[in-house]
Amino acid sequence: MTEYKLDIVGKVCPYCLLAVRNKIKELSPGDILIVKTDHPPAANDTIPTDLKKKGHKFNSILLEPGMWKITITIQ
């Protein structure tokens, strides 16, 4: 299990989702990806919806107004 970070602050969809998908392709089951984003649709809808469809476990928290951290465990 290895932890990776992906900073997509300042980016908007669809780039946010594509960046997460591309990074996940590089990882192995059990790895953890921590994504930092300031794009509300990506944090609250686009990325979580995609992760659910693909069966990955995740937790999204609001770090401060306008900044989210999504912790993804690769399945």
Would you please indicate which residues are annotated as catalytic (active-site) residues? 13
Place of tokens 């944090």: 43
Q: What is the DSSP string of 44-71?
A: IIIHHHHHHHHT-EEEEEEEETTEEEEE
Question: What's the chain's length in residues?
Answer: 75
